Structure 1
Amino acid sequence: MSPRKIAIVTGGNKGIGFAIVKGLCEKFAGDVYLTARNITRGQEAVAKLKTLGFNPLFHQLDITNEESVSAFRDYIKTNNILIDVLVNNAGVFASPTLSMGEQAEINVMVNYFGTLKVCQGLFPFLRENARVVNISSSSGRLLRIPGTDIQAKFKDPNLSIEGLNKLMKQYIQDAKDNTYQSKGWGENAYVVSKVGLTALSNIQQKEFDQKPHLNISVNAVHPGYVDTDMTSHKGHLTIEEGAKAPLFLALNAKLKGKYVWFDCRVVDWDGPAPQ
């Protein structure tokens, strides 16, 4: 298997993902893969980093496309690569001008199911002591969903990935049926997608805890309100500031199954917003 350490960042061609790749190139003692859905934009991002003196590698990856994920998985397998750091950064914020059903489907299928698809493809190639960082959001706090019955389902200590998948699919259906409000999901499809991602991170850590010899960590992180396309450039943090906590988890932190704020504080996923 690959003797060199390997880090992979999804959605790495711009914004926070680009800054995470740059930070890993600076501080990670190994090869860094910048992946992106669009080949041209991904290659342009790699070229930009090379002008800064870094040498990331590139591979196309559309987290929502089964063939794309399978192709990357096969590349990893064929080249006998073992992964030390996986940063699941790729995501989307569906336009609020769309119907709630459309917003729910886009946000959940990308932010939750797309990330899950990547994890299912790449987790078999994680090396011992690997670190997985799932880029969540302040929207990923459980209390952003108002319904206590829905909250209880997400908090169920026996919730499995299969059960969580069913819950996320139920939300999409409720949004399409226009029953999402009465059932307690709240008004924001992005929130539900990121709560799902944070819940997924918790379950993934529990599963790895059953294999303690691997010593693999999975953490979710809110990178802050960052000046990116996703925030329509209204964020007050730079992309480098947004990359701070993800890099902390990828490189330094000895945390497992935590929800981390942009200033690197561990916060309660099911608690109030930090001050």
Structure 2
Amino acid sequence: MIFILFLSISYGQKIKVLNVGTFHMAGTTDARKVEFDVNDKNRIEETNEIARMLAQFKPTVICVEVVPSENEGINLDYSKFITDPNHKANYKGEIELIAYQVGKLAGVKRIYGIDEQATASYNYFIWKELQDQVDSLTSINYMKAAFKGFDEVDELPSTISKIKLMNTKEYWEASINVNADILTHNATQGNFEGADEAAKFYRRNLRIYSNLNQIPLSENDRVFILMGATHTAFLNEFIKRSPKYELIDLTDYLK
């Protein structure tokens, strides 16, 4: 009876969210990266086409992988990008090539950084560095298989095909496993070394979600989020259960 009651609760109109994962186009310190030349004219044209398709979502707010303390700086940079065709953007890669372009095409007034770095440092490599583990084979075997899957991204011929793959359920689940859940198998007897490292990554992504929730939004807003695909995977899990937001299918726009 209680379960049925909760299902019947109405929260009013939800805010539509287009949550898109990408690789970092201007380089990254992440353990894995996709090769991408930001000066290649063909790649630039590809990102322009992606931006044109995503702009059809008609966002009113854009969120990117920048910490909130940089909001003033990124909005100044974005404003110059919109008004001055000769401006060289300070925020490179996918922010300039996709987020700024989507914003310009859709008439977005403001960009928000929602990243969180205070809890960003964790030992991702504990799965192979921890000594005397109760079970090391589960992580090792999973990682080997997952890395082969992630290598498929590099092998795809176009930027749009890479982004499409990075926004599939299978890719998101593998990203969460590789970066967090699989580490729970790495522990010495009676301890939680891997789980504690995974918790740090969960904490970072929960704080990213909290940053999103602190943005002043109305039910008429439409939010476009562009972040590294692993953050997208976590945000999808949080957003899909939210009473406030409605996730929009990327395939409605990225053809």
TM-score by length of 1: 0.29
Greater share of helix: 2
Greater share of strand: 1
Report which of the two structures shows the higher radius of gyration computed on alpha carbons.
2
TM-score by length of 2: 0.31
Which gives a bigger RCO, structure 1 or 2 (Cα 8 Å, sep 6+)?
A: 2
